[in-house]
Structure 1
Amino acid sequence: MAFHDLVFGIIFFIQTGVGVLGNFFLLCLYAITFLTGHRLKPIDSILVHLALSNSIVLIIKGIPQTMLALGLKNFLDNFACKFIIYIHRVARSLSLTFTCLLSVFQVITISSFTWFKLSGLKNKLPKNIVTFCLFSWILCLLMNIYMFANIQNFRENSNNTRIWHMGFCLGFTSGSFKALLLVITFSIPDFLCVGCMVMASGYLVLFLHRHHQVVQHIYSSSFIPRTSPETRATHTILVLVSTYVSFNSINSIMAIYLFQFEKYHLWLMPTSAFLAACFPAISPFVLIPHDSRILHLYYSTLGKDKLPKSSS
């Protein structure tokens, strides 16, 4: 085993383990909140699905990548190869969808646009969040069925004219034009979601800027301002979206390069896989410090009756 393979194996193992633990911690927190009779907020429903999809991304891709980096070759049969790539693609699409929904939901929540109020969207959206999340699962499961027709393991490699490596599996199409058309077609929803997130983030930045000006005015009036829950949530979602867009942009550039040249690159392939898993692994640790329920649990464990004023 080469030294760089061992390094990547350790990195994938740590990334998968830490990321899964973080996402499972969030899922357990929401489960405890629900089971103790507390009602989950609409935004919590989105975060539950986001944590679940991120966990699937890490488990379904992180474990095979770790095994591959540690020297195991051809350990998947054709069906297992197709199934893993299919589930990974579904979970990745869901992670993007729920991150986009999170930013749009926050914009509608804090927005003062009259249209949102007149259309009833501001009142209807929170009531239908769970339905929308379930619909997203069904849609992503159906949209990515094409993976079963275009993925195979190395032992069943054919003479198709367009092949791109995915580490432990191969993707193929019958020609360069069809491959390009396939990539463009299934990239359109991703680009739309990312574009939507960028626009929503722009509005959230303007909201925070206006809020900062108000806070400065309050400071000048000798009052001590308290950060509202909406502002804290907006900060968190902005960091979350920025993290996704940053890692996804770099990974997309590398993926296009790998697809274009049809070769297995010793460093680029595992690096691309690592970057693709960074957001699912990091996102719970962006959310956890900003969740007041964790602070409540911490202070109740210490035997304190209430939180400090700055965190309430």
Structure 2
Amino acid sequence: MGTSTCRGLKENMLNDRIFSRDVTIAVVSLSQTTVGILGNVSLLYHYLFLYHTQCRLRTTDLILKHLTLANCLVILSKGVPHTVAALGLKYFLNGFACELLFYVHRVGRGVSIGTTCLLSVFQTITISPMDSCWKGLKLKAPKLVAFCIFLFWIQYIVITLIIPIYTLHVSSRWSMKNITKIRDWGYCFTTDHAQIIGTVHTVLIVVPEISLSVITTWASGSMVFILYRHNQRVQHIHGNKISPSSSAESTATQRILALVSPFLSFYALSSIFHICIALFPNLDWWVMNISALISLCFPTISPYLFMNHNDMVPRLSFEWIRNSRSFKLF
């Protein structure tokens, strides 16, 4: 009796721990999903309202509209099923629905990273002086933005489709003996056939994400450098009358860093987790759940960052911006 009682107590303690961790994940995931959907839908409604009332969106408004749409896809395809699974409803999706959900998430994530990169590059071109290497693109850039956004959508819709097609092709040719990994996502199971699947995922998904993140870092660094140089020129002209900490350039620099830092931090961590999940089977329960939560972080907070920094680079009195008839950034 003593042994069976002790065993029963251990099982109860284990069940309590599992229940406690599931509740914790469910609360965090539900909070992220709710806050993220509210923020992105509000921002998307704002831009749609502007479009219908003014019949024209600024270039940055167009970029942010597609960014919020992509963020909604990420949150709906990752946050909702993950929350439902954490609340106790396990494996409610079949194989096709599971692949479709992953497909929507990859497309939304790719477009989100791509449009964020496009926003940084466009802002860099916009505030660059006329004697810079960007002078040939200053007037052409607004006309190319719509094409670039369209290209991002088409690129990720097509490229992301290769992974499930390749998986089905391998599944039809190889027997069940060649299945090397079975992944438990909580809301469905997936099977990977051979290590090449992880390699294909890394090359087609992770490498472009890293490349776009590097471009975003470079563009943001260029913006900070341009603003710093202009601030030095203004200080030289006006002497010490303007406080460096209160200047428009300093404010713009802080806002750029406030937006870019979480983007790079969360997506870098998310990419690392995605590589580990793609290449290594049977990962710990915490790794799978933390990966899902981290992938929701930037899509959740980004609309609030954009609302808070609605004038990311304020209307600076750059003489070279006025002369070049640049477009407003926000």
* Distance change (3 Å), C-alpha of 1:66 and 1:178: closer
Preserved CA contact (<8 Å) 1:102 1:237:
no
Equivalent in the alignment of 1:297:
none
**Paired residues of 1:73 and 1:168 also in contact (CA < 8 A):** yes
Secondary structure of the 1:161 match is: strand
Partner of 2:85: 68
Q: How many residue pairs align between the two structures?
A: 286
User: How far has the Cα of 1:142 moved from its partner?
Assistant: 0.7
Does the 8 A contact of 2:159 with 2:204 survive in 1? no
1:70-99 alpha-carbon deviations (Å, 9 max, x no partner): 111110012211111100100000001001
Deviation digits for residues 236-284 of structure 1, max 9, x if unmatched?
4443222111011122223333344311422121111000110000101
Please say which of residues 183-192 and 168-177 is displaced more in the overlay. Answer: 168-177
Identify if the C-alpha distance between structure 1 residues 5 and 101 changes in structure 2 by more than 3 Å, giving closer, same or farther: same
Contact 1:162–1:179 under 8 Å retained in 2 = no
- Cα distance, 1:28 vs. partner? 1.7
Offset of 1:115 from its aligned partner? 3.6
- C-alpha distance in structure 2 between counterparts of 1:53 and 1:7, whole Å: 27
Aligned-partner Cα distance in 1 for 2:29–2:237: 48
Residue in structure 1 matched with residue 303 of structure 2 by the alignment: 284
Counterpart of 1:306?
none
Partner secondary structure for residue 54 of structure 2 = coil
| Aligned match of 1:206 | 225
Return 141-150 or 178-187, whichever deviates more.
178-187
Distance 1:245 1:14, change over 3 A: same
- Correspondence list, 1:99-138, <5 A: 99-112=116-129, 113-117=131-135, 120-138=136-154
Indicate the SS of the match to 1:116: coil
Partners of 1:233 and 1:80 in 2: CA distance: 44
Q: Tell me the amino acid that sits aligned with residue 137 of structure 1.
A: W
- From 37, 41, 45, the equivalent of 2:62 is 45
Cα separation, partners in 2 of 1:277 and 1:210, compared to 1, 3 Å: same
The answer as to 2:162 corresponding to 1:143 is no
- Counterpart residue number, 1:184: 203
What secondary structure is seen at the aligned counterpart in 1 of 2:92?
A: coil
- 1:13 and 2:30 are equivalent in the alignment: yes
Match of 2:324 in 1: none
Deviates more, 1:266-275 or 1:201-210: 201-210
- Residue 205 to residue 88, structure 1, CA distance change in 2 (3 Å): same
More off after superposition, 120-129 vs 157-166:
157-166
Structure 1 unaligned spans of 5+: 293-312
Tell me the residue number matched to 1:245: 264
Larger radius of gyration: 2
CA distance in 2, matches of 1:249, 1:188: 12
The answer for the alignment partner of 2:51 in structure 1 is 34
* C-alpha deviation, 1:212, in angstroms: 3.8
Does 2:212 correspond to 1:193? yes
* Structure 2: runs of 5 or more not aligned: 1-17, 169-174, 312-330
Normalization by structure 2: what TM-score?
0.77
Q: Structure 1 length as normaliser, TM-score?
A: 0.81
Q: CA deviation at 1:163?
A: 4.3
CA distance in 2, matches of 1:50, 1:216: 36
In structure 2, C-alpha distance between the alignment counterparts of 1:73 and 1:64, rounded to whole Å: 9
**What is the CA–CA distance in structure 2 between the aligned matches of 1:218 and 1:115, rounded to whole Å?**
25
Q: Measure, in 1, the Cα distance between the counterparts of 2:292 and 2:199.
A: 21
Contact 2:71 2:108 in 1 (8 A): yes
> How far apart are residue 57 of structure 1 and its match?
0.6
Question: What residue is the counterpart of 1:310 in the other structure?
Answer: none
Change (3 A) 1:239 1:109: same
Query: Residue 91 of structure 2 aligns to a residue in which SS?
Result: coil
Q: Matched residues in 2 for 1:243 and 1:20: separation?
A: 18
> CA–CA distance in 2 between the matches of 1:55 and 1:233?
27
Structure 1 vs Structure 2: percent identity of aligned residues?
37
Q: Give the aligned partner of residue 273 of structure 1.
A: 292
Distance in 1, matches of 2:234 and 2:274, equals: 44
Instruction: Tell me if the contact between 1:107 and 1:203 (Cα under 8 Å) persists in the aligned partners.
Output: yes
Structure 2 letter corresponding to 1:127 = K
Partner of 1:88: 105
